[in-house]
C-alpha cells in the first residue's frame, strides 16, 4: 500500500476469524491488541487467546508458532511439565506439515499483501526450520 493522500480511504477489513479449537487451560481472556484490530476499523474487544506455552502444548500449526515464538523471549518462556511433554509432538507436527497443507490452511486466509510473502516455498521452508529449531531449544 502506498502513501495515503487527503481524501483517500483506508480499506476496511470485513472478516475477523476466531479459533474454533476447544477451550484449554492457560488461555487468557483480555482485550485484543489495538494494532491487530486497526485494519478492521474496530475498537478492542475481549477475546480468548492462548499463551505461547499453551500453543506449544496444543502442537499448533507452524505459522502460529512462528509468530508466537518470534515475539517471545525463549529465556523467559517458562514451560510447565505438561507443556514440555508436548514439545516432541509439537516438533513432529511442525516437521510433518506439508507446503500444500500450509498454503491451503494458512496462506489462503491471509491478507493479499501478506499472502504474497508467505506463499513462497522458501519462506515456508525457512519458517518450518526456524520453528523446529526454537522448539528444540526449549527442551
Angle at 34 between CA 29 and CA 37, to 5 degrees: 90
- Residues 7-40 have pLDDT tens digits of 666 565 555 565 555 555 667 888 888 877 787 7
Please tell me what DSSP assigns to residue 21: S
Confirm if 40 and 17 have CB atoms less than 8 A apart: no
Indicate if the pLDDT at residue 94 is higher than 60. yes
Average pLDDT estimate for 51-79: 76
The pTM for the full model equals: 0.66
Mean pLDDT of the chain: 79
Which residues are within 8 A (CB) of 49 and not within 5 positions of it... i.e. 6 or more apart? 27, 28, 30, 32
Q: Distance (Å, rounded) from C-alpha 139 to C-alpha 128? A: 17
Residue 60, pLDDT > 70, answer no
Contacts of 62 (CB under 8 A, 6+ apart): 94, 97, 102, 127, 128, 131
Residue 63 CB coordination number (10 Å):
20
Dist. CA 93–CA 87, nearest whole Å = 10
More confident residue, 64 or 73: 64
Residue-wise pLDDT for 105-133, tens only, equals: 889 888 888 899 999 999 999 999 999 99
Percent of the chain at pLDDT > 90 equals 19
41-50, 52-61, 87-96: least confidently modelled range: 52-61
> Is residue 50's pLDDT more than 80?
no
Amino acid at each position: 500500500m502506498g502513501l495515503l493522500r487527503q481524501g483517500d480511504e483506508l480499506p476496511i477489513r470485513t472478516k475477523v476469524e476466531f479459533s474454533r479449537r476447544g477451550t484449554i487451560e492457560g488461555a487468557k481472556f483480555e482485550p485484543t491488541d489495538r494494532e491487530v484490530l486497526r485494519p478492521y476499523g474496530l475498537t478492542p474487544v475481549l477475546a480468548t487467546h492462548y499463551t505461547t506455552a499453551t500453543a506449544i502444548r496444543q502442537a499448533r500449526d507452524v505459522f502460529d508458532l512462528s509468530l508466537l515464538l518470534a515475539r517471545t523471549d525463549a529465556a523467559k518462556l517458562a514451560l510447565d511439565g505438561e507443556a514440555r511433554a508436548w514439545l516432541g509432538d509439537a516438533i513432529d507436527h511442525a516437521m510433518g506439515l506439508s507446503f500444500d497443507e500450509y498454503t491451503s490452511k494458512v496462506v489462503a486466509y491471509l491478507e493479499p499483501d501478506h499472502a504474497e510473502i508467505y506463499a513462497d516455498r522458501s519462506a515456508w521452508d525457512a519458517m518450518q526450520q526456524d520453528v523446529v529449531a526454537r522448539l528444540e531449544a526449549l527442551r
